[in-house]
Structure 1
Amino acid sequence: MKIIQSFWSGNQKKIDTEYGWCKSQYHWMGWILSVNQLVKYYDKVELYTDDFGYEILINKLQLPYTKVHVVLNDLNEYPAELWALAKIKVYSMQEEPFIHVDGDVFVWSEFSNNLKKAALVAQNKEKTTNYYHFMWTSIAPFLSYIPVEIEDFGKNASHLSANMGITGGTDISFYKQYAKKAFEFVEKNKQIWTDINLFNFNIFFEQVLFYKMAEINSLPIAYLFSEIWEDNLYTGFGDFHHVPHQKTYLHLLGDFKRNLSVCKAMEGYIMKFYPKDYSQLMKLYLLKEAVIGKEHTLNDKVVAELSEEFELEVQKNKFSESHFLLKRDLNNVGLNREYKKFLEEENDFKVVRLPGFNIVEKDEIKTLEIEEYNSDLRIFELDQVDEILMEVLLVPISYFDLIDEMNLYLEDENDQDSVQEMAAVIKGKIEIYITLKIIGIYSFN
């Protein structure tokens, strides 16, 4: 089956356009990770784009698409906010079974045979709530045309939709009909584009219309996930610390792509596993007077050397300032998995508090100010247990000894319920601290 992706710039020609991400560079990193993961599992991964997309993704970043179609320039007459039109146009151009994968979707395995053989495919079924309902009620009064398939959408808050982080299938004729209907929906309301929130409008001519058309025509949709999520309550789709062992699919929809912690985790993964692509992107952001740094010259060998250096520094608890944040971030990739493996095998390990953060107190509230590589400080508010742990971790300590040390703070050290509860708290805290990049761990057995 052919995998396709689409990027339309919306007639925006600046590399620093954010496209819904918290910073523009993460948007381009998303494309780097998405296609590199896809080509691991599929022989045909094709890109449909416009001139600007071709210039950045192909000419500058040289991403490994097997074929590129520059066919989206004719959408430039539409407002950039109508971003879903590009995807829908690309669906209509297909003449063979396909799966379209959004540029903020990342996979660590092939899609199942059930999906590959299905007539229609989507990521998951979605239950609409007041979140979508309020969007619709702010748009619908202005519309001069509403497709019959979704005329009843506003009658109550609860409906079903389809998340189309991935979509496709074997029913090519359906996608052509759907695309025609979607463009008709948009075009017949052209006169009120300036009166409505076009960004929100995408939801209804893309996801809601797709689901309703399939339903009315009694066409089943095969979903990647059987779970039904509410439209604004997606969880776990940005958990980079769980790939590839616990999760093999991430989708940075909505707030995930605006969450700096999630974006930094993505960046670390790309630096470690796709260092050349990462450096190529960083060079595009260089000012003329800027100095070439280590982040501009990464490759597999450099990454291995930096990672090895940092592992030794953690074991010696002696850290060099040279490229500290870069080395820390590389070391952090996969560290949560290593931690879980220690726990599963009941092996003891050393916990080392890292430099790179300060404890700040204001109005009797203590927070961590954590330095981030190429980004602003990350702020984390401490609770009472955190404050004690920060003191205990001033000296490297084994995990088992750490739990024993924390048990000394219990009112009754012999109360087994309290002891077990403390162990669970420490287990969770260590996972948080690894995610925050304020500790390192290593086996000493």
Structure 2
Amino acid sequence: MPMRAVWSFWSKPFFAFKGRIWREPVHHLLAWGLSLRLARQHYPDTMLVTDEAGADLLVDRLGLSFAQVSTELENLRRADVGWWALGKLYAYSIQDRPFVHIDTDVFLWKALPSRLIQTPVFAQCPEAHALEEACGPRDMEWAFGKHQLVLPAEWEWYRSQPYNGFREENCGILGAQRVDFIRYYAQLALDVAMNPRNLPAWTELPHKSGYNMMIEQFLLAACLDYHRFHPDSPYRGVHARYLFPSWNDAFDPQKAARAGYTHLLGDAKHNVLVTQRLEQRMKSEDPAFYRHCVELDRRSMSA
């Protein structure tokens, strides 16, 4: 079965923070156009998982064309805006065929290698972290323990191992042949964040930003390690491969160029030179779309 390319856009955090993740809102629009344009060349079965406001912006006003558009993120309308990863997790949880979820700031200049996409689970790269880092697993364990709440068995098992640090799976891209495993993990992560029983713990940690990585990327690593060798797990044998073997490899310009992969992570989206290159690329790729983005941004600013 051909691989589906999936994007997600939960508009609530974007509009709450007024798109400040990008240097200017127009760069957010341009990135959407370029990410979809490039990936669609390799994976024509495309899907957007969003809410009604997101569909209005990206499909009705921006004019992006996806093979399928789901507004199931309307189910998150009462969720805490600080949990910006919920849109991605929800999108993972509803997939029913092999897929790759692509972040809006990821550009696939080449198709992903077949040795990668044929594996049970694949991601951008592993990340190694020290236990002392802020917004790490110890903070959540303290908050949940204070209120006698239980974290998932996979989390507890992983943390019982004699590791000096912890691993996360970088989800700039996240895909799978074993979509049943991904649905299980994503539903588990959504439950950790959204189940009312856990609210007392989250009141101890009011600033959610860093904990998004815990429920999306750390919990995925824990689920992979736990289920791979568990004799009674329906996901026994499920394992992950990576486009890059390490964080440093993923952001080595030469290695990224050879892979045909760009991820404008974090502060790169504020970099003047980077965003100028994004503008120039879309001017040359699709001048009409570039002008439309500029005009749409101008009208939004004057509204």
Q: TM class, shorter-chain normalised?
A: 0.7 to 0.9
Aligned equivalents of 2:63 and 2:154: distance in 1? 42
Asked whether the equivalents of residues 39 and 108 of structure 2 are also in contact (C-alpha less than 8 Å), the reply is: yes
Who is 1:190 aligned against? 199
2: distance between equivalents of 1:253 and 1:44?
A: 25
* Pair 1:258 & 2:274 matched: no
More relative contact order, 1 or 2 (CA 8 Å, 6+ apart): 2
Superposed CA deviations along residues 85-132 of structure 1, whole A, max 9, x for unmatched, are 11111111111111111111101111111222211111111111367x
Q: Which residues of 2 match residues 33-432 of structure 1 at below 5 A? A: 33-129=34-130, 133-136=133-136, 137-143=138-144, 144-151=149-156, 153=159, 158-186=165-193, 187=195, 188-196=197-205, 197-218=207-228, 219-225=238-244, 227-229=245-247, 235-236=251-252, 246=258, 248-287=260-299
* TM-score, structure 2 normalization: 0.83
Partner-residue secondary structure (3-state), 2:151:
coil
Q: AA paired with 2:155?
A: I
Compare CA radii of gyration and give the structure with the larger one: 1
CA distance in 2 between partners of 1:185 and 1:244 (Å): 34
Cα RMSD (Å) of the superposition? 2.8
Q: If the length of structure 1 is used for normalisation, what is the TM-score?
A: 0.58
Contact 2:127 2:167 in 1 (8 A): yes
Contact kept? 1:128, 1:157, Cα under 8 Å: no
Q: Deviations over 1:62-90 (max 9, x none)?
A: 11322211211110111222121111111
Report if the CA contact (8 A) 1:161-1:207 is conserved: yes
Give, in whole Å, the separation in 1 of the partners of 2:130 and 2:223.
20
Q: Distance in 2 between matches of 1:288 and 1:234?
A: 35
Deviation for aligned residue 1:166: 0.9
Change (3 A) 1:70 1:263: same
| Paired letter, 2:243 | L
Identity of aligned residues (%): 27
Assess, with a 3 A threshold, how the Cα gap between structure 1 residues 245 and 74 changes in structure 2: closer, same or farther: closer
- In structure 1, give the amino acid aligned to 2:18: T
Counterpart CA distance in 2 for 1:49 and 1:150 is 29
Measured in 2, the distance between the counterparts of 1:173 and 1:288 equals 40
Q: Distance in 1 between matches of 2:285 and 2:14?
A: 30
Letter in 1 for 2:246: I
Distance 2:32 2:299 in 1: 22
For 1:213 and 1:178, locate their aligned partners in 2 and report how far apart those are by CA, in whole Å: 7
Structure-1 separation of matches of 2:255 and 2:125? 20
- Closer, same or farther: CA 173–193 of 1 in aligned 2, 3 Å: same
Q: Aligned with 1:135: secondary structure? A: coil
* Contact persistence 1:5–1:102 (CA under 8 A): yes
Return closer, same or farther for 1:244/1:168 CA change in 2, 3 Å cut-off. closer
Counterpart contact for 1:11–1:76, Cα < 8 Å: no
**1:9–1:80: 8 Å Cα contact kept in structure 2?**
no
Unaligned runs of 5+ in 1: 291-445
The answer to whether the Cα contact below 8 Å between 1:26 and 1:267 also exists between their aligned partners in 2 is yes
Counterparts of 1:25-36 in structure 2, within 5 Å, are 25-36=26-37
Distance 1:289 1:193 in 2: 35
Matches of 2:67 and 2:288 in 1, distance apart?
19
Give the secondary structure class of the aligned counterpart of 1:146.
Answer: coil
Structure 2 stretches lacking a partner, 5+ long? 229-237
Aligned to 1:189, what secondary structure does the other structure show?
helix
1:48/1:90 contact within 8 Å kept: yes
